Chain A
Amino acid sequence: MIELGLHIKQAEKKIDNKQIVHPFDLHIEPGEVIALCGGNGAGKSTILRMIVGILQPSAGTIELNGLNWKEQRVEYLEQIGYMPDHFQFAAGLTARETLSFYAALRGVPKAKVDDALRSVGLYETKDKRVTQFSKGMQQRLLFAQAIIAHPSLVVLDEPTNGLDPYWMDAFVELVKGLKAAGQSVIFTTHQLQVADAASDRAIFLMNGQIVQSGTIEDFRARYGALGLHGAFSELSASPDRPATAHMHAPAPEKPIPSSADKQQGKVSVKIKGRRD
């Protein structure tokens, strides 16, 4: 029987004998949203690159809906939409031409290009050259490219980089839309409030190791209103923490600190909301 969803078993990545990602297991159900969190160089992007086949795991297996990259590469990749972190668009092409190119590669009818542009708020600027776009607009176009073919797994590397607060909220809604359509999503982010709002589960990485993972409710149960921020603060305080902790059972709730700055023994709490 075909196991639906993404199944990663004991995958690891070594480059020149350096352990970039330690062996890990991960299972993503259809319609599940996972956030990969952690500092710079934690191994988040490497994991995503292994999932989409840009990097090959040094050991272990990665299967998507029963398909393996090495044995059924074309079928495997047909199920994936990927948004890279670093990307430079081709000079001279408009947003519509760029998206039409990627749509054609996926065999998506041209009519859907405008719908995708509308969904990321770029329809009005569809005939503008992409190189004239701001970072945030380019990110939205890359996002549209990743979702245009309705893949079963959407892999997003730092999708909220350069987005203004309005589009961060819109991103959360778009991810919820993908989830509602039964598509799985895995994304990396430094914006923990986005991870908190958009994902079902969060995984914290440090030095290529999963150091904490659990549902958003698990994190809230353990860290109170701080949620993922609490987990990140704890990891930052103990940067060499080696053991993997899975939060399947809620830990005793920590008292919620009230305000301000860590140097003064205080923690600031940001309240989400729009000023208008």
Chain B
Amino acid sequence: MGFRNPWSYSFLALFTLFTLALMVIQSRSYLEGYTYSTGTMLTLVLYLLPLMTILLSSFSLTAEKEEGSWQLLSTYALTTSSFLLGKYFGQALVLIAIVCFGYGLSGVIGALLGAGFSFATLLFLLSFSICIILMFLGIAMLIGALSQNRWQALTWGVSVWFFLILAWPTLLISVLSFVPYTWIKPVLQVATILNPAELVRLFSVITLGGGSIFGPEYYKWVNWFDSPFGVVGFITLCFIWISLTLLIAAFVWERGRKHD
């Protein structure tokens, strides 16, 4: 049903425009691996995609409450977990289709013009975007479960996005200035796990060979992600993140169902 949602098409148009802009940025770069333009693209994707995911998916949940369809669905033999998992995978399908279309179109146009993304870069950006979508979908489910209507979801969504994406580096620097020097590394490690955007960005940049830009504080992360267990460890961390957010969302939703 997400494909019939007019909002999905608005985001599709926006994301396609966005990837075409990335293509223009990329056309000025002739280097492979982690470059300044790759970093810029990752940052731009990180600005747009989490917000898109949070808004589209949390609205999808709150709309169920506002329009009465959850009230009707709750009279069906449907468990809260299957409802939320259905929403999660349904929204994941819609959002992944949007990013595939966006990157696909810019890839085709780039190939026709002879300047644009290489296939490897496209594949990297797509994997990075899918990771971001899957992680932030968990947060969106939690926001949707906590909010009673779309206005609440919008407020929560923008706040979370602002905190995790925009304010994070500044906040981190401020907090770390109060922490004893020996604690900085462990605090940074925990903080990185707590922010899915940071975790995915870190993994992606290190995988592209740009780990040195993070500085000595992230040395352990670079070593760990570069090791044979790096990919497995990253996937496990992502899985734990998604499972935890979905479990909390299910708990909140179920509590509302029992206490009504």
Contacts and interface: CB of A to CB of B under 8 A. Distances in A.
A77 B77 contact: yes
A212 interface: no
Interface residues of A, number: 27
B159 interface: no
Contacts of A105: 73, 76, 78
A218 to B, nearest CB: 31
24 contacts: A53-B74, A55-B260, A56-B258, A56-B259, A73-B77, A78-B77, A80-B75, A84-B71, A84-B72, A86-B68, A87-B68, A87-B69, A87-B71, A88-B67, A88-B68, A88-B69, A90-B1, A90-B4, A90-B69, A91-B4, A91-B5, A93-B4, A101-B1, A105-B78
A177 interface: no
Contacts of B258: 56
9 A-B pairs with least C-beta separation: A92-B4, A88-B67, A82-B75, A87-B68, A52-B75, A74-B77, A77-B77, A78-B77, A86-B68
Interface of B: 1, 4-6, 66-69, 71-79, 258-260
Contacts of A145: 72
A53 B76 CA distance: 10
A111 interface: no
A91 B68 contact: no
A164 B71 CA distance: 26
Contacts of B77: 73-75, 77-78, 106
A54 interface: yes
A54 B72 CA distance: 8
B67 A87 contact: yes
A161 B6 CA distance: 29
Given A91-B5, A92-B4, A93-B4, A53 B68 contact: no
Contacts of B259: 56
Nearest to A90: B1
Contacts of B76: 77, 102, 105-106
